[in-house]
Amino acid sequence: MPADEKPTASVWTRPRRPQREQLTREQIVAAAIELLDLEGIEALSMRKLGSRLNTAATSLYRHVANKDELIQLVVDEVYGEVELPATADRTQWRAAVTRIAAELRAMTLRHPWIAPELGQVGLVHIGPNAMRMSSGMLAQFEAAGFPADEKDQAVGTLTAYVIGIATSEAAYFSLIARSGKTEQEWVADLRPAFDEASREHQRLREGSSARPDAHPRQIRDEAFGYGVDRVLDGLAVRLDT
């Protein structure tokens, strides 16, 4: 690295300061996640977080350099919620990967603020929990028989699908939350307008739209499962070549 070039800043690339006070990094991260879950990413500030912890914002800066570092920490903490299979088996790789995909989607929907953050690349993904999840997924594709130069791409393809769908669902839930209605109520209220708008477009009235009695969550779950299956169908073809 040239002498005048600064290293990329990240909470993961500098030494952690010794704990010399009652407030810990873990407490800061936990409080930040609670705030984010309640009010969203726009509401997060060091001053507001300090108030939540009954301390001055300056106390937080002894543990995290800035808000960007805090985001790296909370994203990695939430990655830790994703449960991974204990083993990798060639005969069970597809079921295992399907479960991981469902876990990743569920985690994103529990914390909808994280969806835009998951679309970022770079050092945010070198936290211990993110690395553990990526390594666990790679182990499943390796057990399936994907070659070393392809398993990374297989993981990336599946992850991109899951994050894309979960980001769309998170935005959908944010819209519903602002309405003050349940998902079922919101969809039921929208149906008359949809029926009227699609009167001359019969194809739009078929499929899931033709199931007014199905719970919206069931339809979303089925659509997600269909997409995961088709992605894995395409990847599995590579094992036969």
Express each pLDDT in 79-134 by its tens digit: 999 999 999 999 999 999 999 999 999 999 999 888 888 766 444 567 899 999 99
In a domain, 153, yes or no: yes
Distances (CA, A) of 123 to 69, 137, 233: 10, 19, 31
Q: Please tell me what DSSP assigns to residue 81.
A: T
> Is residue 223 located within the same domain as residue 104?
yes
> Is residue 106 located within the same domain as residue 207?
yes
Q: What is the pLDDT of the chain when averaged over all its residues?
A: 87
**Pure H helices in 61-147:** 67-79, 93-110, 115-118, 128-144
Helix axes 183-197, 148-179, angle to 10 degrees: 90
Residues 6+ apart with CB under 8 A from 165: 105, 224, 227
> Is residue 129 located within the same domain as residue 212?
yes
At residue 30, does pLDDT exceed 90?
yes
Helix (H/G/I), strand (E/B), else coil: 147: coil
Domain count, the chain: 2
Percent residues over pLDDT 90 in the chain? 55
Q: What pLDDT is recorded for position 149?
A: 87
> Is residue 38 located within the same domain as residue 115?
no
- For the ranges 118-127, 151-160, 175-184, 194-203, the lowest mean pLDDT is seen at 118-127
In a domain, 154, yes or no: yes
In a domain, 183, yes or no: yes
- For the ranges 10-19, 105-114, 138-147, the lowest mean pLDDT is seen at 10-19
> Is residue 65 located within the same domain as residue 97?
no
Domain of residue 104, residue span: 93-240
> Is residue 113 located within the same domain as residue 75?
no
> Is residue 46 located within the same domain as residue 152?
no
Q: Are residues 116 and 76 in contact, defined by beta-carbon separation less than 8 angstroms? A: no
> Is residue 115 located within the same domain as residue 230?
yes
Q: What pLDDT is recorded for position 236?
A: 94
Boundary of a domain, candidates 79, 108, 124: 79
CATH number of the domain residue 13 falls in: 1.10.10.60
Using one digit for the tens of pLDDT, what is the confidence trace for 195-227?
888 888 888 777 656 677 888 999 999 999 999
In the predicted model, what is the mean pLDDT of residues 182-187? 92
Hunting for tokens 């070549």 — which residue is that? 241
In the predicted model, what is the mean pLDDT of residues 6-17? 65
> Is residue 64 located within the same domain as residue 108?
no
Q: Are residues 216 and 191 in contact, defined by beta-carbon separation less than 8 angstroms? A: no
Q: Give which of 148, 155, 143 is closest to 89, Cα–Cα.
A: 143
- Classify the C-alpha dihedral 233-162-221-224 as positive or negative: negative
Boundary of a domain, candidates 32, 55, 79: 79
